[in-house]
Structures are given as structure tokens and as C-alpha cells.
Amino acid sequence: MAMTIRLDDQSGFTLIEGLVATAILGVGVLALAGMQAIALARNVDANELTRVTNLASDMTERIQYNRQNVDAYANIDTTASTPCPSTMPIGSRGDCQQWKALLEDVTGHLENVRGTVSVTNMGPTSPSLNQRQVIVAVTWLGSTKSETSIKRTKTVTMRTVIAPE
């Protein structure tokens, strides 16, 4: 007598279950790909912001170190024909020239970089302290995220109050 096996109690995946699982996996992979593009764009933004913040901080620290000549840093504009006038004291002029060189060096990574410094007398608010408000600003044209996006001008501004010794 031959034994017959009944296959009524089968378990496993049907073709429809496999297709549904594949569709769900496909949607998840597409979502990850979209997030990757966004993360890359934000990484570029963060890199630009880090570079520019370091440049603005560098000039602010140079002025704080040379605080006795704080007024000499007024009206520096790295895009002007003479950003560092010859009337500046040698230390201040050297700071200006080095900062301009740093800004020019970063132009391979950033577009239309411009650094400005303004110094204003705090005047009536602190006449006995002889304080000056120093504003260091770096502007640049931000990178594009895609071929259809528009480049926007971005600015990092650092403000500080310095009292000459």
C-alpha cells in the first residue's frame, strides 16, 4: 500500500505577498535616496558657514589683539581697490592684508566673497571707557542645491565692543 501525502496545510509566501514586500522595500529605498540628497546639500551649507565664520572670527580676534589701533580697522572692504590703506599702522595693515589673502584663498570654494569691517565710537553711552563697536561681516554667494535653485547672498556678521588700552 502506497502512502499519499496531502498538501492542504502548506505554509510560505504567495506571489502577491512577495510583490507587496518588494513595493514596501522600494518606497523605503527611494525615501532614503531623497534624504541623502538633502543631507548632502545641508553638508555643503554647513561647510560654507564654517569657513566664513572662521574668517570673520579671525579678523575679530586680530582687532581685539591690536586693540590700541582699533580705529585703524575702520572701513576695511576687501573688494575695494585699496582695502588696506597705506596710512594704517603697520600691524593693522598686515592684519588687513593677511585677512584679504585668506578671503581670496577661499574663493576657490566660495563665490564673490567680500569682507568688511566697520568701527564706530560708542560715544555717549560710555565716554569714560572710550569703547568702540566693531562689526566684521563676510558675505558670499551661496552654492546652488540643483540646476533649478537660485544662488542667494549669505552673510555672517560678528559684533563686539572693544575698549582701546
- Domain-located, residue 5: no
- Domain-located, residue 116: yes
pLDDT in tens, 67-86: 888 889 998 998 888 888 88
- Count CB atoms within 10 A of the CB of residue 30: 10
- Domain-located, residue 3: no
Owning domain of residue 27: 16-162
| Residue showing cell 582687532 | 63
| Residue showing cell 532614503 | 32
pLDDT in tens, 51-70: 999 999 999 999 999 988 88
- Domain-located, residue 133: yes
User: What local confidence, expressed as pLDDT, does residue 7 receive?
Assistant: 59
Lookup: cell for 108 = 576657490
Lookup: cell for 72 = 585703524
pLDDT band for position 5 (cuts 50, 70, 90): low
Domain count for the chain, please give it.
Answer: 1
- Domain-located, residue 47: yes
For residue 28, which phi and psi values (nearest 5 degrees)? -65, -40
